[in-house]
Amino acid sequence: MTLLDSAVWGGKFYSEGWQDSATEQPVTEPATGDRLGTVGLASAEDVNRAAARAAEAQRAWAATSPQQRAAVLRRAGELFTEHAAEIEDWLVREAGSVRSKAGFEAGLAIGECFECAGLPTHPQGEVLTSQDARWSLARRRPAGVVSVIAPFNFPLILGLRSVAPALALGNAVLLKPDPRTAVSGGVVIARIFEEAGLPAGVLHLLPGDGEVGRAVVEAPEVRVISFTGSTPVGRAIGEQAGRLLKRAHLELGGNNALVVLPGADVAKAASAGAFGSYLHQGQICMTTGRHIVHESLVEEYTAALAAKAEALPVGDPARQDVALGPIIDRRQLERVHGIVTDSVAAGAKVAAGGEIDGAGYRATVLTGLTTDMPAWREEIFGPVAPVISFATTEEAARIVNDCEYGLSVGILGDVGTAMKLADRIDSGKVHINEQTVSDEPNAPFGGVKASGTGSRFGGATANVEAFTETQWLTVRPDIADYPF
């Protein structure tokens, strides 16, 4: 039996084993519309039962030794390695990933588990000074039950990067993947940890609609919500969590800038720009959505970028060697095209692409933009590269910051100039002489402004802060004397 044999999970959700669901949803291949299987959907009542059970199981899981929890995470990493090819196939077919992107995502999952295997034995607090004759400690304790809500674009890693550290630090988890990628973003994770020996009741897989999303936030047992997705939904979850006095870690949208400085190598810059804008059809929160190019290079850069865009084939990544796969669904495909056509109607010019190609969209370059056009102002979530010029670094900094988002920025060219520019930029991440898409399991990840609530993913410091609570503990050798 393979890891993802549908006889195990078909028509079911995972909550202390695989449970039959009253409601099912087809798993669909976006490139062809073919049916890949059927996933079970949870209800709000299922969520409430799972949350109650998770709270019970969490106490026992937190009481296990750090070595036991680390062993489960290491075994999960080994299982991701052993089943990488099978998992990659699902990422290609269900999420529309090209093969290289699927391999990159599976590799991140392996690294995430091994990185998180060190969390159980990581320092869990600090010794404080005290004016009294006592020991004073600030120690980190598991938050309890954590709800993880993950999107469709990098479904495996964007769920796992919260699930793995939360489990490693002694929490129980309710995982709600996007229903469009419920296998690669949910079933894969549940099956891996089931096979890795995670005790029953600690992890629950609960695919579903908005009602299920509200339930995993509102369940009384849930103390922390980790959400990755759109800014409008993130705002709603943040408001809901605030009313309930729960912590919400929000990793939201981005309209990321790539700045090409004067004197930069144009061929290399265009290659970086193409990768940043067209990887996974531009369906990445870190996608390069704005190309800000010095006026001395803008014509040459635009021509080079357009040539690369025209050479990138679009198609079905499961059956063809293509650079761009399908857009996740027809609604999003039409939204991407609508933003392009609205911008052209406002005066922008298409230097390459600008067309629907089957279930995908041609790699597109737009010029002649003003900063109030939709293709410049909005997060497109498609393979569209708008280009605009600047004259001075002061102007470049102003253009970069004139955006509601602040997730990732790339700066290409002279390092000294780039360093000075980086100091003036509002962004959670800045990459000098790299494009905007980058992620490593040990690196902090997060944005500012409308891109979210800062770095709450990646690395021990961010993970411990995200998924534990601080408890002040004091100890005296004898009962203290009091004046009453």
Q: Which residues are catalytic?
A: 251, 285
Q: How many residues does the chain have?
A: 484
Structure tokens, 224: 């922390």
Going along 58-202, which residue ranges are E strands? 125-128, 135-142, 145-149, 172-176
Structure tokens, 332: 């999003």
Cα(184)–Cα(195) distance, rounded to whole angstroms? 16
- Tracing tokens 């990840």 back to the chain, one arrives at 445
**Which among 312, 253, 305, 251 has a CA at the least distance from the CA of 279?**
312
**Residue 300, C-beta contacts closer than 8 angstroms, at least 6 positions apart:** 266
Q: Is 14 helix (H, G, I), strand (E, B) or coil?
A: strand
Structure tokens, 289: 């959505």
Structure tokens, 318: 């499961």
Structure tokens, 351: 């230097």
Cα(318)–Cα(96) distance, rounded to whole angstroms? 8
* Alpha-carbon distances of 394 from 4, 291, 298, 386, 391, rounded to whole Å: 53, 16, 17, 20, 8
Structure tokens, 57: 């199981």
DSSP H helical ranges for 347-443: 374-377, 393-401, 415-422
Q: Are 225 and 248 in contact (CB under 8 A)?
A: yes
Dihedral of CA atoms 449, 247, 458, 173 in degrees, nearest 10, equals: -140
Structure tokens, 294: 């010095």
